[in-house]
Homo-oligomer: A and B are copies of this chain.
Amino acid sequence: MLTVLTLLITVVTVSAQVVFPDDSAQIRHLYNEALDHGQSYENLRYLTSHIGARLSGSPQAEKAVLWAKLKMDALGLDHVYLQEVMVPHWIRGAKEKAAIVITGEPKISMDVCALGGSIATAGKLRAQVVEVRSWKELDEKDVKGKIVFFNRAMNPEELETFKAYLDANDQRSTGAVEAAKRGAIGTLVRSLTLSKDNLPHTGAMSYDDKIAKIPSAAISTNSADKLSSELKLSPNLTVELEMGCEQLPDVKSYNVIGEIRGSKYPEEIITVGAHIDSWDLAEAASDDGSGFVQTIEVMRIIKAMGIHPERTIRAILYINEENGNRGGLKYAETAKLAGENHLAVIEQDAGGFMPKGFRIEASPQVVAHMQLWQRLLQPYQLHILAFKQRGIDIVPMKNIAKALISVECEDQRFFDIHHSAADTFDKISRRELELGGASMVTLVYLIDKYGL
């Protein structure tokens, strides 16, 4: 790699205007193929309308696995196969109900949904509520026998909404364990969105086998604001919560993998992927229907343009990103066992909006090598970003692949719909979606050509 690197640096220094002339033309062709003949949008229309929500373990998830295999088969790849994965099977049951009860007043119903993985309430759970906005407050307040209401909002002043999300996510992921440790009997968690509306946003929560399991629900931001203001007037109000969700035995499912073998260095693998599964409240066009169809599009474009990569390109559609990451773990475990040589694993799980670049988690040398491509990416408004990548599926590939890479998209709209009933096809722009696929195939092309 160092020789190539040195060469590239020299070229850049000598003549900034004429670097990679062939690459410029080839990338333009890749983009034209996506913009003129892209199939991501129509595939997404099919996925969302004919299959819909596809929570791990559900019949729709299995339908999505089969459809993914069918789409890959149709591309004429060198090898398409299923990788068996046992996945959790959690079901929501009937629509959840919740209400604020204040003595002498009519009940005020709230918009709630069970967080993924939560246990049910045994009939109706009714208890007093303690609002907390920090872990410190949780320590200071008496929550024994009560429902803890985690009401720390995502920071609206943070320009990068993904960061605001990650900063507030601890309430949802570990809130139930921390509350139960202190004797609480349930949790309500403010929905992780910057929007003020009536939609509860679900997402994964977890239990600790050594700590009592308590029911855990997401509450819409409007309901959270309502509950908070009612608590100021009536600190002793109670909340009724009813959820029928259930954790069933694990079921067999699959990662779907399609491969084009490298002509020169077949043992060097470049993986590009996204996740099949989704939450159950909507057809999940954005998370991650968009990455799903863009991954297929990467392979379609390579085949349609008659490109014969030197390295092995592998497209993977992971199962179970949302509540277990069993697909990602299985892929990494298999790669490790087989002693495979992975250059890069790329994931697109950023919502299908306007692509802005790539977050590269790799050695400084690898990042510097990729930054030399910046000039080629500029016309497409893409940037090489030396930031921690954000794909859950590819985290297990750390120390296996040289670079972990996630696609970065414009994210102002993402959390308005994320994990909620609003994650629907109409929120996705055809052009933004096709440009995302084009950005991914461009990165694959460059890594294939120059290695890492």
Contact = CB atoms under 8 A, between A and B. Distances in A.
Contacts of A354: 354, 410, 412
Residue with the highest number of chain B CB atoms closer than 10 Å, among A32, A195, A354? A354
A381 B159 contact: yes
A429 B195 CA distance: 10
Chain A interface residue bracket vs B: 20 to 34
Contacts of A194: 431
A67 interface: no
A31 interface: yes
Contact of A380 (B159, B379, B410, B430): B159
A161 interface: yes
A253 B416 CA distance: 39
Contacts of A303: none
A156 interface: yes
Contact of A431 (B412, B429, B430): B412
Contacts of A416: 429-431
Nearest to A161: B431
Contacts of A161: 431
A413 interface: yes
Interface string A334-361: 0000000000000000000010000000
Interface in A368-408: 379-381
A379 B158 CA distance: 10
A415 to B, nearest CB: 9
A19 interface: no
B432 A156 contact: no
A17 B56 CA distance: 48
A157 interface: yes
A140 interface: no
Contact of A31 (B31, B157, B429): B157
Given A412-B354, A412-B435, A430 B157 contact: no
A157 B381 contact: no
Contact of A156 (B35, B159, B410): B35
Interface of A: 31-32, 35-36, 156-157, 159, 161, 194-195, 354, 379-381, 410, 412-413, 416, 429-432, 435
15 contacts: A35-B157, A36-B156, A159-B379, A159-B380, A159-B381, A161-B431, A194-B431, A354-B412, A410-B410, A412-B429, A412-B432, A412-B435, A413-B429, A413-B431, A416-B429
Q: Nearest 10 pairs between A and B by C-beta?
A: A412-B431, A413-B429, A35-B156, A412-B432, A32-B157, A35-B157, A412-B429, A354-B410, A354-B412, A36-B156
